[in-house]
Structure 1
Amino acid sequence: MSPRYFPGRFAGKVLVVTGAAQGIGRAVALRAAKEGGRILFVDRADFVAAVAAEAEGEAAAFSADLETYEGAAAAMGFASETFGGVDILINNVGGAIRMRPFAEFEPQQIDAEIRRSLMPTLYCCHAVLSHFLARGRGTIINVSSNATRGIYRGPYSAAKGGVNAITQSLAMELADQNIRVVATAPGGTEAPPRRIPRNAAGDTEKEKAWMGEVVSQVKQSSFMRRYGTIEEQAAPILFLASEEASYITGSVLPVAGGDLG
């Protein structure tokens, strides 16, 4: 699917997009820039600056480890110093590191999945709030997953269940302060090979087999029996970030070809 651009949709808005060096985050950040936004590309990958340089519009890059609170706070502070504030935060960092039956996970692997797919969202939501409260408005879009119902990703599923919970909790808490909090829940998504793999140690032969079972389950659970594209994920994220979605808060939108997760 080729993206349909809406020129000026984010004119005058400052967006922080995390996980912006690759995949869905990259597509979201580049498209938002083309639609008039002033974008901070945030990622711990050192090539995030090169990706930001591709933007057709005003953009900057910031390298941070969002699995730490210090990284999250530094990113939000840099956005405010660079652009004069923050209007929209898109929390895109996360992703299953390993695919294996829950009984096969080691304790440190469970911890790593939670750190990767829950803590950056929690930390960034907290770190951006002082900037939103100072401006009297703001929007948070969390990228969750329909893998809250899926095999061989128990700790990741738990992390994304936490993302759904913080989305709904904060939406209720902050609505009277003119702050919206929403989420999408992507299903399986076709993407180019990652420049930095999620599992740096590489997959074992068993894990490759389990991955095959996951792919089969994801496609069978989707009414459309296929993976989505990156653009099919970026489009609803940017809709929820826009003024067109001004009466939507606390919702988690499944984007998985009919699989509700």
Structure 2
Amino acid sequence: MTTTDTAPSRAAGRRTAAGPSAHRGRFTGRSVVVTGAAQGIGRAVAERIAAEGGGVVLVDRAELVHEVAAGVREAAAAYPDPAPVHSVTADLETFDGAQAATEAAIAAAGRIDVVVNNVGGTIWAKPYEHYTPEEIEKEVRRSLFPTLWMCRAVLPHLIAQRTGTIVNVGSVATRGVNRVPYAASKGGVRAITTALALEAAPHGVRVVATAPGGTEAPARAVQRGPLPQTEQEKAWYQQIVDQTVDSSLMKRYGTLDEQAAAICFLASDEASYITGTILPVAGGDLG
């Protein structure tokens, strides 16, 4: 699971992770592409990378990404020698979109050192027998193909420069109720990570992933799909919330800062001897 619009009450008042300026200079001289960057975890990662001295290209299919990038740029200007912040709109559910985003990022930033593949998220919440074939396909297109396509689009560039890092954002919801198509998609992200790491390592490229648990986030500016309407739909969604909290040893949802901190660690040189690894960030829930 990545983000939710309404956090359970047991998460209220919990301390967040250290702020984004905790490792100033960690990404100096680096160019980082963050997908799904208009809101949620992606936005938090982009803000932290910029605060830590990195150049950032925010990618999203929502036009909102340009407004978010302007805010990231303004915040980064408070630090000495801020790195450039760019934004690109692209539909990453297609290879053409991923290719266009990669080319635009290289044109804007000159190179790509790190890609954070963050696009994805549950669209519907219900038992599998209630999904239509069209909904199943849409869930897979949303939560598997953006990572699959971006890895394919950016890999030749990283191989050519013989260095780089891909950080995929998976989920511990591969073991979760009422979202089988999403779980299957995130299981695919885990497989991409472990298999591609074997191929990429000889070229100096690391491939890693985090597996977030339930994460508190503000209300989404752009919804993934319809919100629960009927009492039954609300009950199915509540089952996800309850199972997510119960599966966490810490009995709470995480914060955006906690998710961004783990992603940025794996993206940094501090994790230079880590590849093919999936880091659960879910309060002890291993998925």
Residue by residue over 1:166-197, the C-alpha shift from the partner in whole angstroms, topping out at 9 and shown as x without a partner, is 00000011111100000000000010000011
Q: Which residue of 2 aligns with 1:8?
A: 25
Task: Report the aligned-residue RMSD.
Answer: 0.9
Out of 4, 16, 40, the residue aligned to residue 23 of structure 1 is 40
Q: Structure 1 residue 87 and structure 2 residue 104: aligned?
A: no
Out of 129, 140, 146, the residue aligned to residue 120 of structure 1 is 146
CA distance in 2, matches of 1:204, 1:114: 23
Counterpart residue identity of residue 41, structure 1: L
Q: Which residue of 1 aligns with 2:85?
A: 59
Q: Which residue of 2 aligns with 1:204?
A: 229
Counterpart residue identity of residue 204, structure 1: Q
Contact in 1 for aligned 2:265/2:271 (Cα 8 Å)? yes
Contact in 1 for aligned 2:105/2:111 (Cα 8 Å)? yes
CA distance in 2, matches of 1:133, 1:185: 25
Residue by residue over 1:201-252, the C-alpha shift from the partner in whole angstroms, topping out at 9 and shown as x without a partner, is 3323122110111100100010011100010100000000000000000000
Question: Comparing 149-158 with 77-86, which one deviates more in the overlay?
Answer: 77-86
Greater relative CO, 1 or 2 (CA 8 Å, sep 6+): 2
Q: Which residue of 2 aligns with 1:48?
A: 65
The percent identity for this pair of structures is: 55
CA distance in 1, matches of 2:132, 2:101: 32
CA distance in 1, matches of 2:142, 2:64: 19
Task: Normalising by structure 2, report the TM-score.
Answer: 0.89
Contact in 2 for aligned 1:148/1:161 (Cα 8 Å)? yes
Q: List, as ranges, runs of 4+ consecutive aligned residues in structure 1 with deviation greater than 6 Å.
A: none
Structure 2 unmatched ranges of 5 or more: 1-15, 77-81
Q: Which residue of 2 aligns with 1:100?
A: 126
Residue by residue over 1:122-154, the C-alpha shift from the partner in whole angstroms, topping out at 9 and shown as x without a partner, is 000000012112211110000000000000010
CA distance in 2, matches of 1:24, 1:92: 8
Residue by residue over 1:45-74, the C-alpha shift from the partner in whole angstroms, topping out at 9 and shown as x without a partner, is 111011111121310000011111111001
CA distance in 2, matches of 1:229, 1:169: 29
Matched positions, count:
260
